Amino acid sequence: MEFKIVLASRDDISEIIAIDRLTCKEIVDSDWYSNDCVNREFLNYLIEEAGFVVKVVCNNQIVGFGMAEVKLDSGTSPAFLLHLNDNISLCGEIDNILVLPGYRGYGLQRKIMRCLEEKFLSDTSVEILYTTVHPDNIYSLDNCLTLGYQEVMEVSLYGGKRRMVLKKRIRV
């Protein structure tokens, strides 16, 4: 299978939301994924002014996506809410990453994260990236650790869901 990861556009939002809704129904443990921000308004906001949304395309079909914020919201960002001692203007956050069940096992989550990191390096002055993962989701946690993220702390976020906050410095 050949996969391409490219920037998503506003025209892709409905399909991204459909993938999110479909996949959420199939997740074994609903605490592993929080899709509160996968909505038309927030995706438009990221695409137009505050971040990046990438899509994974295989055979002209979107089979996965990743979202990242450059302009962190002081009301929702773990970096801000948890007082992590970093200058928030130098921080970015990798948000939701999701791949359709039939396309898992191809390393796409890791590839999406690398693509988003490259976007941060080429398009922003962000120095530090944050992301969150459910501590029992060993697949996502392993992908983050393999990519050089460091565990910061385990906390309760997104309406009481357990999360491991991870951090990676992408610039010195």
Digit-coded pLDDT (tens) for 4-47: 999 999 999 999 999 888 876 666 666 655 656 678 998 999 99
Place of tokens 């490219």: 6
3-class secondary-structure state, position 154: strand
Residue 37 is predicted with a pLDDT of 62
Residue 79 has a pLDDT of 58
Per-residue pLDDT of the chain (172 residues; tens, 9 = 90+): 899 999 999 999 999 999 888 876 666 666 655 656 678 998 999 999 889 999 999 999 999 999 999 876 655 566 555 656 567 778 889 988 999 989 989 999 999 999 999 999 998 889 999 999 999 999 999 999 999 999 998 988 777 788 899 999 998 7
Q: What pLDDT score does 77 carry?
A: 60
**CB–CB of 74/88 below 8 Å?**
yes
* Number of folded domains that form the chain: 1
Domain that holds residue 85: 4-169
Which CATH number goes with the domain that contains 163?
3.40.630.30
- What pTM, to 2 d.p., does this model score? 0.88
Residues 6+ positions from 63 with CB-CB distance below 8 Å: 3, 19, 56, 57, 99, 100, 102, 103, 108
